[in-house]
Amino acid sequence: MLDFNEITRWSNLARIAGGNAAKLTIAAPFAAFIILHNEPLQPFLQMSENWHPNPFIESLALARFDVFYVGLVVIGIAVAMFSLFSPSQITSYNSYDEYLVVKESIKTDNGVEGSLRLTLEEYSKYAASMSLEVDVRERRFRFPRRFREGLWRLLLALSRSDAEKTGENDNGPKAILAGLTDVDTERSPWWERVHPLLPLLSRDVFRLEYIRADYGSPVLRTVVFWIMMLGIFIVFIPTLITTYLVLSDLLRVVEDAPGFDTSVVGPR
């Protein structure tokens, strides 16, 4: 199950649904309507009948454009859902490395703090009834191991930096996490305390933001993935049918060739 969660990350879905070719499938219903209902094009879209003795194969062959159209529509739905619901951290950048470079180039002290605030608010929201310890397994789909390990390293770095700055070793990683996610107003002093330390750890903060976005909305990611797979499977059906018919026709031509004897193996 965890492997499937890795497969359906938004960044992986972007490799399929984020390309220009995939985005063109959104226009498939409109293009197909113009093509399939254009009378001058009908002779080119029709297939000769009685090409295969099996009536089921024959009917599928005759409906190959319709099947292909349905597949494109299904893929277009998946691509549209991806475009609407995929987080901007994924869709606005070509890669994770580009995301980090851009974020680092435009970062401000308040921007780094705001990024961590949003990440921790969502983390604590889905952990409202649980301990905020970073090794809780129940949050592994939205906040997998790489997120929890990254958060722990960031908190540990904040704890060490705070100890070097104040000379006190009372605030460990878990204490800092509890203070930053406190539901009361008591968290304000904690944010003021770590604010000057965050710009030095901006890459870690932005990395957590990216991972949070990449693994967000696991149910929606799964729906987009399966709709995309269904559309690809439907689109692939006409290709299989055409390949089968061509091979069958080729075999029939070879069998009907003069001097061909299927009972003889090897050269005559």
Same domain flag for 104 and 203: yes
Domain contains 204? yes
Same domain flag for 78 and 21: yes
Q: Which residues have CB under 8 Å from 64's CB, separation 6+?
A: 47, 238, 241, 242
In the chain, % helix, strand, coil (3-state, to 5) comes to: 75, 0, 25
Domain contains 94? no
Domain contains 58? yes
* Residue 181: predicted pLDDT: 82
* Residue 214: predicted pLDDT: 93
Same domain flag for 36 and 109: no
* Residue 149: predicted pLDDT: 87
Same domain flag for 223 and 209: no
Same domain flag for 103 and 167: yes
Same domain flag for 201 and 236: no
Same domain flag for 48 and 130: no
Domain count, the chain: 2
* Residue 23: predicted pLDDT: 65
Same domain flag for 105 and 43: no
Domain contains 145? yes
Q: Which domain holds residue 171?
A: 99-215
Q: Which amino acid belongs to residue 148?
A: R
Q: Is the dihedral of CA 193, 208, 82, 138 positive or negative?
A: negative
Same domain flag for 162 and 174: yes
Same domain flag for 107 and 211: yes
Same domain flag for 109 and 211: yes
Domain contains 65? yes
Domain contains 263? no
* Residue 144: predicted pLDDT: 83
Domain contains 261? no
pTM of the shown model: 0.77
Domain contains 223? yes
Same domain flag for 211 and 223: no
DSSP states of 97-129: HHHHHHHHHS--HHHHHHHHHHHHHHHHHTTTT
Q: What is the mean pLDDT of each run of 10 residues along the chain (268 residues)?
A: 82 83 65 56 52 63 76 88 92 90 92 92 70 51 84 90 75 83 75 88 94 91 94 86 75 66 52
* Residue 136: predicted pLDDT: 46
Which residue has tokens 């870690």?
Answer: 204
DSSP states of 143-212: S-HHHHHHHHHHHHHHHHHHHHHHS-----HHHHHHHHT-SSTTHHHHHHHHGGGGGGGHHHHHHHHHHH
